Chain A
Amino acid sequence: MAPWLTILILVPLVGAVALALLPGKPGSGLPRQFALGVSLLTLVLTIVVAAGFDAGGGFQYVEDHTWIRSFGAHYALGVDGIGLSLVVLTALLAPVVMLASWNDGDALTGAAAGLRPEPRWSSRAFFAWMLALEGLAIGVFAATDLVLFYVFFEATLIPIYFLVAGWGGHDRSRAALKFLIYSLVGGLIMLASVVGLYVQSAKAGPPSYLISDLANLDISTNAGRWLFAGFFIAFAIKAPMFPVHTWLPDTTEQATPGTSVLLVSILDKIGTFGMIRFCLGIFPEASTWATPFVIVLALISIIYGALVAIGQNNISRLIAFTSVSHFGLIVLGIFVMNPQGQVGANLYMFNHGLSTAALFLVTGFLITRRGSALISDFGGVEKVAPVLAGLLLVSGLSSLSLPGLSPFVSEFLVLVGAFKYSAWVAALAVPAIVLAALYILLMYQRTMTGPLREHSASITDLVPREVLAIAPVMVLIVLLGFWPKPLTTVLNPAVDATLSHVGVSPAAPAVDATEGSQQ
């Protein structure tokens, strides 16, 4: 069989290198067309892969080659339902982001000129970094060897760093550095655990970093808890959870909307994905042991993120804090350790990717038109840009989990799971829904409704390119809101496998719950 996953990783990466090296005169539109073409090709290939995926078949498209025998490291790829859903999300959002950021690689003009300083490099480099990021992100979600995962995990930092520092706002260098240092520190703490796992593995025989081998290791309780902590800290920084979330608002405030989407919708999922794959997959005992602590952190993230979001005047920061709240819900769903919670969390990872992408991109169109990201600078925009206002409303409603839009299904399942775990936990998490309505609707009300403000009058409505970019995301949000079954079918077996490894028997049929919520 063809090495499909390797192809999925290589197509964008080779595209990025080719884009960087190919000749072309500055200012030409060719580089971005090429990048969009490559990402669309990747999307087509991903759809082929997804179509051939057998929901009940465990890890598929497996490739396994010895990479570094002395370390026991393998070049091993494979996807289960969880991995596949995130690979699809990545391949889907990449062309969307590129189309939406068509002109963000160049210097801004007109009203937006004051928003960001001159880019440091050409738009060709902008799109090359985006392609590189796409390839590396697919690699992260497809890696089934810990060292390979770590390599991709760290490598994704570099494109984001350059995307923020090269094309971001006025404080971009500091924001990019803050992001990089937080992520590196997390990664290095994880490295200590990675090395520790090697020792555990070498004690048992020839060392191996394959996740399937690591999952069967007999790790002593004490060692397991320490190693778990290393992984969890890294993923909590990535996700990001309270109290290590502070890099996220600073970064999204400075980044271009497209970069923010790639960062929050895709890369931050590595955190929650890693919690499922590594924390639960390798350290079931330690994960159960840490559950109360993690749930408290998740609850704080949910409430704190939502409360702070209400107080934000900067739209990009607001969305970042809503994400902190949503990631709290995802982590809560993972660690309540029941099928409803985990299916909900996995769905949420996909749906949050969609709704946040929509929110960042639509507000990005708005911000670029006005040259300001401050809510107080807008007012009455719906009168001059009805399409934009409509799309903002839909993406906002999806972010606050309105029934009928896809995030609702996932949020509902997470809350059901939380309720099964403890009514108190659920009671503490539910106010997030009310707070979400507050921060989204207040933002909408202040920017879109009311009398038309002086500088908002010049805001034009969306151009066809922007509508085209955002349309697939909108369609999916609605479609998956009414018919989440394709996703849940793929996710359920993977969730069951995770839970039975942790020691929870997947008794309650999660699919029924999903369908029940729609009736």
Chain B
Amino acid sequence: MNGFTAPSIEYALLAPFLIVVGAAVLGVLVEAVAPRRSRYWIQFLIAILGLAAALVSTLTTVAGRLGDQPKGTGGVIAAMGALAIDGPTVFTWGLLLILGILGLLLFAERGLEGGVTSFAGQASALPGTEAERLASAQGLEHTETFPLLMTAVSGMMLFPAANDLLTLFVALEVFSLPLYLLCGLARRRRLLSQEAALKYFLLGAFASAFLVYGIALTYGYAGSMGYAQIAEAVGSRTSGHGLLLAGIGLIAVSMLFKIGAAPFHAWTPDVYQGAPTAVTGFMASLTKVAAFGALLRIFYVAFGGARWDWLPLFYVIAILTMVVGSVLALSQSDIKRLLAYSSIAHAGFLLVGFLGARSLAASGTNDVNAVQAVLFYLVTYGFMTMAAFAIVTLVRDSSGETTALSSWAGLGKESPVVAGLFAFLLLAMAGIPLTSGFMGKLAVFTAAYRGGAGFAVVAAVLVSAVAAVFYIRLIVLMFFTERTGDGPSVATPSWMTTTVIAVGTAMTLILGLVPGPLLEMLGRVAAFIR
């Protein structure tokens, strides 16, 4: 033994990630020392400054160092091979941080529950007890939600950057555990919220177990955790194929669970419905970004050589996911469940883009490639989903948010602006032109068709028609159905939620009109370092 060699860490390159982790740790410390009254603002400032600083750092240092390299070579394998900082990583970091800031604004919104956040006043108080009443009477609120959010964001940043399976697993746990917790912290309908958290936790634990098993089998096959070594083994080894296939299958299960693809989607509607809406919006958009980033890297880089083994599997799953999401959405009577099924359908469309995988030699420089298309779709999806859930938090009756579809009837009369914006977002989700949703669909369909998955594109187009029906039915409900009884009212939020809605819809419109610059930028960065 030669003694201990200190690992070399590229601190400057990892700065965005380290800043977020640092802000999360600082947030925990503040919780211990700051007085209760001032915690909210201190925590909010730490979180937002941390995210903003990380974003600036991503844009300047990291992007600057990668920017002047030719395509596909502008990456660095950092932290002793544990992380790959390349175009897709930096792009997902930027996207996660921007969406993270929007999510944070939803978390910090205090204008809707009479001066407190929409999280439980005291999570340890049992629902319906005297302790709970006391906690709300005193106006208690949990400010731990901010460090939890920061921890989740840090894990999400690590996830698509992971360049070995162990880091992948750690990242998964780092971002999942805070989410389990956040799901159970709703201020209203706490039993539903806690049930959602437990369900998410149990199923998530299963998914993690699948991942660990898959990692073990893959390690057994390749003799290494590193993506590059696995790719090498896939390209050169001739024996032990069964081990590899089992490993790929098990890892795929856990990843598909995280992105909410059928048949591993069952948690999505329950969790989306039960979790506080701010958390749902955060989770729906950021988890998809992180999980798809990781999915792309592991399957394109590590398992790229075995493409013909896993593509058929994903072919089936992509179509199944779209069909399940769209068809089941038709029969939903709750807005959050409907958006959950819609997000399942979107996962299916994203997977269609994922099918556009081609060998490196075959991918031209002129046309849309799969990574570019999927990342673009993630941008469009992230913003429209965040804005849609932000609007869901505004529609309320006396008992808090009212998510039953029947109580959304006639919203267009009650508040034309809010209903109009929501209708616009729904049209975007349906993929109507002049919205970013159309451009996103065009991108993933194009990439998939180009990659030879023409049949999946035809299926996707037919499913889009089904999906359009339930989005439009919701528009009909808001504008063309008379309200029953008292109906909902639309609360006036503080600047925070307003910002989220404004940014989300503006991005949806802008990317629908001029998607060119972003697509071209993605065309330059969308190549993984190997």
Contact = CB atoms under 8 A, between A and B. Distances in A.
Contact residue range for chain A?
A: 35 or more
B442 interface: yes
A215 B476 CA distance: 40
B468 A184 contact: yes
Contacts of B457: 192, 195-196
A188 B461 contact: yes
Contacts, number: 101
A199 B449 contact: yes
Contacts of B476: 165, 173, 177
A151 interface: yes
A244 interface: no
B462 A188 contact: yes
B364 interface: yes
B442 A195 contact: yes
A245 B93 CA distance: 50
A219 interface: no
B469 A181 contact: yes
B478 to A, nearest CB: 12
A177 B472 contact: yes
A120 B368 contact: no
A185 interface: yes
Contacts of A71: 368, 442-443, 446, 519
Given A188-B462, A202-B364, A205-B366, A70 B449 contact: no
A188 B465 contact: yes
Interface string B265-279: 000000000000000
Nearest to A201: B367
Contacts of A194: 442
A313 interface: no
Contacts of A151: 433-434, 438
Interface centre among A150, A173, A195, A206 (most CB of B within 10 A): A195
B432 A154 contact: yes
A71 to B, nearest CB: 7
B515 A195 contact: no
A195 B520 contact: no
Which label, helix, strand, loop or mixed, suits the secondary structure of the B interface? helix
A89 to B, nearest CB: 23
B523 interface: yes
Contact of B449 (A185, A189, A196): A196
A155 B434 CA distance: 8
Contact of B468 (A150, A181, A202): A181
A202 B366 contact: yes
A68 interface: yes
A165 B472 CA distance: 12
Interface string B462-481: 10110011001100100111
A283 B245 CA distance: 44
Contacts of A147: 442
A289 interface: no
Contacts of B449: 195-196, 198-199
A161 to B, nearest CB: 8
Interface string B283-311: 00000000000000000000000000000
Interface in B437-494: 438-439, 441-443, 445-446, 449-450, 454, 457-458, 461-462, 464-465, 468-469, 472-473, 476, 479-481
Which label, helix, strand, loop or mixed, suits the secondary structure of the A interface? helix
Interface in A193-226: 194-196, 198-199, 202, 205-207
A191 interface: yes
A6 B364 CA distance: 34
B364 A70 contact: no
A307 B278 CA distance: 59
Contacts of B434: 151, 155
Given A69-B516, A70-B368, A196 B472 contact: no
Given A70-B367, A70-B372, A199 B479 contact: no
Given A71-B442, A181-B469, A185-B465, A202 B433 contact: no
A199 B446 contact: yes
A180 B473 CA distance: 11
Nearest to B365: A206
A150 B433 contact: yes
B433 A154 contact: yes
Nearest to A165: B480
Contacts of B446: 71, 195, 198-199
A154 B462 CA distance: 16
Interface string A407-436: 000000000000000000000000000000
A274 B519 CA distance: 29
A143 to B, nearest CB: 12
A188 B464 contact: yes
B433 A68 contact: no
Interface of A: 66-71, 120, 147, 150-155, 158, 165, 172-173, 176-177, 180-181, 184-185, 188-189, 191-192, 194-196, 198-199, 202, 205-207
22 contacts: A66-B516, A67-B516, A68-B439, A68-B514, A69-B520, A70-B443, A70-B519, A147-B442, A151-B433, A165-B479, A177-B476, A180-B472, A184-B468, A184-B472, A191-B442, A191-B461, A192-B458, A192-B461, A195-B449, A196-B449, A198-B367, A199-B454
Interface of B: 364, 366-368, 372, 427, 432-434, 438-439, 441-443, 445-446, 449-450, 454, 457-458, 461-462, 464-465, 468-469, 472-473, 476, 479-481, 514-516, 519-520, 523
Given A151-B438, A192-B461, A206-B366, 8 more contacts: A67-B516, A70-B443, A177-B476, A185-B465, A188-B462, A191-B464, A192-B457, A196-B457
6 nearest A-B residue pairs (beta carbon): A151-B433, A70-B519, A202-B367, A68-B516, A192-B461, A154-B433
